[in-house]
Amino acid sequence: MTKRLKVQNGSGNVFTDVGFPPAEAHNLQLCAEMMMRIERHVRQSGLTQQAAARLLGITQPRLNQLLKRKIELFSLDALVNMLTKAGMRVELRVKPWRIPANC
């Protein structure tokens, strides 16, 4: 007898799907996206962690925390500053948001 798994579509935000309140889940999703952009930039630059940290205006241990995805240690403000120093532009778009029914 094969056991059937119940498949449920995600909301598009993994943090919502695992139970974070909507506002916190949205904040975490934004942080995660910015952290991934910084990580990709560091890896593609070929710089050492020390040189990349200098470019981003942080210490090497702080960059290491980011590369280890310690999301709880970074604010949106700090991540925007790092992206700007890396030569990227962060844009803000505000629009009405429908809170998922399951929240």
> Which residue range forms the structural domain that includes residue 59?
20-85
Q: Is residue 48 assigned to a domain?
A: yes
User: How many Cβ atoms from other residues are within 10 Å of residue 92's Cβ?
Assistant: 5
Are the C-beta atoms of 27 and 20 separated by less than 8 Å?
Answer: no
Q: Is residue 45 assigned to a domain?
A: yes
Are the C-beta atoms of 35 and 67 separated by less than 8 Å?
Answer: no
Q: Into how many domains does the chain fold?
A: 1
Q: Is residue 36 assigned to a domain?
A: yes
Q: Is residue 73 assigned to a domain?
A: yes
Domain of residue 65, CATH code: 1.10.260.40
Spell 29-60 as b/e; 16+ CB within 10 A means b: bebbebbebbeebbeeeeeeeeebbebbebee
Q: Is residue 37 assigned to a domain?
A: yes
Query: Which pLDDT tens digit goes with each residue over 59-71?
Result: 999 999 999 999 9
Q: Is residue 71 assigned to a domain?
A: yes
Q: Is residue 78 assigned to a domain?
A: yes
pLDDT in single tens digits along all 103 residues of the chain: 678 888 778 888 889 888 889 889 999 999 999 999 999 999 999 999 999 999 999 999 999 999 999 999 999 999 999 999 999 999 988 888 776 665 5
